[in-house]
């Protein structure tokens, strides 16, 4: 029987988010494929430094230690060829990462393999690949490849999510952008008992909950947080939606338009997912932050609205 990964949390990750490949990528951008290939092959014995997602990946893989069957599978999806990818696998081995599966596509879009691998999450430095993975139904986020890999606070895995257009659909955010805060508050109060539709990260949160269920409640190695600019009275619909989904969130922060960054630092987030560029830019200076290019905030005509939202309103 073929091996399947149905029971594991499957995270697909690009080489540029796992390791610091900015020098070699600059060679590719400046000189092209052949000089890039020569650069990588000449340096295949040189170990790569950790990238922005490296600390999270290491923590996730530690969940497999001492277990007969792994809880987490991390898969490398890379635009490198198998030849130039040898340096990446040498670095994986050096750092002691339990990554054994990979797809090297030699310049072709690697997002095509998220579905065959059954990925619950795809992290990449390529925004185009992320957008295509989202369209294919996989939770996906773009991480800035130049960001510094920060030392984790401790061994607990802390993952934070924005609400609207990430965990939930963007239906409520559309009301806010089109009709303003008062209409948004009134609509959410009226629909408080109507669960929101799921967003692109609902399935990933459910997969995390399966991992949490493998441990006693008080000893779970994963802690999740909802960090949203919603405030009362728009909080009730969110709480009732999670209850209807039977999904556990360990912490829920309703910030009423306050900057999320200090709260993410206090939570000790290993990664944070948000759909709005302004939130991502601010938070990425403190924690690893993935942009989720989904929903009304990422539609071309949303530029003026995005600027208005980032001005401090109680945007969801």
The pLDDT tens digits of the residues spanning 41-77 come to 888 899 999 999 999 999 999 999 988 889 999 999 9
Whether the pLDDT of residue 37 is over 90: the answer is: no
Place of tokens 């290939």: 37
pLDDT given for residue 288 in this prediction: 94
pLDDT given for residue 22 in this prediction: 80
Dihedral angle of Cα 210, 213, 218, 223, to the nearest 10 degrees: 0
d(CA 122, CA 19): 15
Q: Report the chain's mean pLDDT, rounded to a whole number.
A: 88
- Dihedral sign for Cα 268, 271, 275, 276, please: positive
pLDDT given for residue 17 in this prediction: 94
State what percent of residues in the chain have pLDDT above 90.
63
Confidence of residue 311 (pLDDT cuts 50, 70, 90): very low
**Residue 311 CB coordination number (10 Å):** 10
Mean pLDDT of 161-167: 96
**Residue 282 CB coordination number (10 Å):** 18
Active-site position among 120, 162, 274, 275: 162
Are the C-beta atoms of residues 85 and 78 closer than 8 Å to each other?
Answer: yes
d(CA 47, CA 43): 8
pLDDT given for residue 306 in this prediction: 38
Mean pLDDT of 86-103: 94
- Residue, of 196 and 80, whose pLDDT is higher: 196
Confidence of residue 107 (pLDDT cuts 50, 70, 90): confident
d(CA 105, CA 199): 29
**Residue 205 CB coordination number (10 Å):** 24
The pLDDT tens digits of the residues spanning 111-126 come to 999 999 999 999 999 9
- Residue, of 28 and 167, whose pLDDT is higher: 167
pLDDT given for residue 5 in this prediction: 74
**Residue 43 CB coordination number (10 Å):** 14
DSSP the chain: -----TTSEEEEE-HHHHB--HHHHHHHHHH-HHHHHHHHHHTTTSPPPB-TTHHHHHHHHHTTTT-SS-SEEEEEEESS-TTTTHHHHHHHHHTT----EEEE-TTS-GGGGHHHHT-SEEEES-HHHHHHHHHTT-EEEEE-TTS--PPPSSSSEEEEE-TBTTTB-SHHHHHHHHH-HHHHHHHHHHTTTSPPPB-TTHHHHHHHHHHHTTS-GGG-SEEEEEEES--TTTHHHHHHHHHHHT---SEEEE-TT--SHHHHHHHT-SEEEES-HHHHHHHTTTS-EEE---SGGGSGGGHHHHHHHTTT----
Question: What residue ranges define each of the domains in the chain, with the CATH number in brackets?
Answer: 9-143 (3.40.50.1000), 157-309 (3.40.50.1000)
pLDDT given for residue 1 in this prediction: 60
Whether the pLDDT of residue 308 is over 60: the answer is: no
**Helical pair 181-190 and 171-179, crossing angle rounded to 10 deg:** 140
pLDDT given for residue 31 in this prediction: 74
pLDDT given for residue 316 in this prediction: 55
The pLDDT tens digits of the residues spanning 234-264 come to 899 999 999 999 998 999 999 998 999 999 9
Taking CA atoms, 118 is separated from 201, 205, 273, in Å, by 15, 15, 20
Whether the pLDDT of residue 313 is over 70: the answer is: no
The pLDDT tens digits of the residues spanning 128-149 come to 999 999 999 999 999 986 566 6
162 is catalytic: yes
pLDDT given for residue 68 in this prediction: 86
């Amino acid at each position: 029987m073929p091996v399947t990964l149905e029971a594991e949390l499957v995270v697909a990750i690009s080489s540029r988010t796992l390791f610091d490949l900015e020098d070699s990528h600059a060679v590719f951008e400046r000189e092209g494929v052949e000089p890039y290939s020569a650069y990588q092959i000449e340096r295949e014995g040189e170990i790569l430094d950790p990238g922005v997602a490296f600390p999270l990946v290491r923590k996730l893989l530690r969940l497999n230690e001492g277990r007969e069957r792994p809880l987490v599978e991390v898969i490398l999806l890379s635009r490198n060829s198998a030849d130039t990818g040898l340096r990446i696998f040498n670095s994986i081995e050096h750092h002691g990462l339990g990554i054994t599966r990979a797809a090297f596509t030699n310049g072709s879009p690697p997002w095509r393999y998220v579905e065959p691998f059954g990925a619950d999450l795809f992290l990449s430095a390529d925004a185009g690949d992320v957008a295509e993975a989202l369209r294919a139904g996989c939770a996906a986020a773009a991480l800035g490849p130049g960001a510094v890999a920060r030392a984790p606070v401790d061994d607990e895995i802390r993952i934070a999510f924005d609400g609207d257009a990430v965990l939930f659909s963007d239906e409520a955010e559309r009301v806010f952008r089109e009709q303003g805060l008062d209409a948004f508050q009134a609509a959410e109060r009226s629909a408080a008992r109507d669960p929101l539709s799921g967003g692109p990260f609902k399935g990933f949160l459910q997969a995390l909950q399966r991992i949490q269920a493998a441990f006693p409640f008080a000893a779970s190695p994963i802690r999740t947080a909802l960090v949203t600019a919603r405030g009362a009275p728009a909080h009730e619909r969110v709480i009732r939606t999670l209850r209807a989904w039977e999904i556990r969130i360990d912490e829920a922060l309703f910030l009423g338009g306050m900057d999320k960054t200090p709260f993410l630092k206090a939570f000790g987030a290993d990664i944070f997912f948000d759909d709005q560029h302004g939130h991502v830019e601010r938070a990425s200076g403190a924690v690893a932050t993935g942009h989720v290019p989904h929903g009304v905030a990422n539609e071309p005509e949303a530029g003026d609205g995005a600027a208005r939202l980032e001005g401090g309103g109680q945007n969801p």
